[in-house]
Amino acid sequence: MVQSTSTRFRDLTVDEFVRRLASASPVPGGGSASAIAGSLGASLVAMVASLSEGRPKYVAHAELHTTARDAGEHLAARFLELADADAAAYGAFSAALKLARGTPDETERRTAAMRTAAREAAEVPLDCVEACLELVATAEALAGRSNANASSDLNVASLLAEAAARGAAANVLVNLPSVGDPDYTDRTMSRVDELLREIERLADETRSVVLSGRSREPLEPAPAGRS
């Protein structure tokens, strides 16, 4: 189930999205809301980078600012895509639940469809958690290396990234029992735990630097042969 272009969440006003979220309709739900929160956080990162570009005081971090601005803009768009994908995945799972199960063959087809849809419904929010890691890593890199007048926005970005990650992670976990694959479930749960720990660490570091008001040295260049 794919939303039409006219109903993409990115095409709604903020008021329209909030009204839909508050309605009795199950879509959008927590997964899409988490992705939207991530998009807001990514937009803040892009803003802070943009406010830092071209300023002599921060010239030593000029390359970081360009990279962070591009990353923030890319992630902001990516999270909006994930908001739509989450709604579509929920729709597919709901459709599978409604399949007939009057005969053994029908029950088997329904179970298979549910497992396929549940895996997709877990993969989409997992992608969101992965994107949250990239977001908070970018915010952490900017902390102490960007316009100090916008440092509080990095703090907000890290908070939004962490909230989005935890919301998306909850949607991963709730779908795993319906996948019917214990090995996949174990791998996915381990990956979620790993991601959340790293996101929390980076978010805490971002807030620590912001609240301290300290400046940091330029990032070391990546070793040769690595991006």
Number of domains in the chain: 1
- The answer on pLDDT for 113 being more than 50 is yes
- The answer on pLDDT for 2 being more than 60 is no
DSSP secondary structure code for residue 25 in this structure: S
pLDDT at 182: 96
Residue 3: inside a domain, yes or no?
A: no
Residue 218: inside a domain, yes or no?
A: no
- The better pLDDT of the pair 26, 73 is held by 73
- The answer on pLDDT for 223 being more than 90 is no
Residues 6+ apart with CB under 8 A from 132: 38, 161, 162, 164, 165, 168, 195, 199
Residue 225: inside a domain, yes or no?
A: no
pLDDT band, very low/low/confident/very high, at 221 (cuts 50, 70, 90) = confident
Tens digit of each residue's pLDDT (9 = 90 or more) over 134-189: 999 999 999 999 999 999 999 999 999 999 999 999 999 999 999 999 999 999 99
Residue 176: inside a domain, yes or no?
A: yes
CA distance 42 to 212: 22
Tens digit of each residue's pLDDT (9 = 90 or more) over 27-40: 999 999 999 999 99
pLDDT band, very low/low/confident/very high, at 7 (cuts 50, 70, 90) = confident
Residue 118: inside a domain, yes or no?
A: yes
CATH of the domain at 63: 1.20.120.680
- 169: domain range? 27-212
pLDDT at 1: 36
CB 124 within 8 A of CB 31: yes
Residue 103: inside a domain, yes or no?
A: yes
Task: Provide DSSP, 96-125.
Answer: HHTS--SSHHHHHHHHHHHHHHHHHHHHHH
Residue 20: inside a domain, yes or no?
A: no
pLDDT band, very low/low/confident/very high, at 104 (cuts 50, 70, 90) = very high
Residue 5: inside a domain, yes or no?
A: no
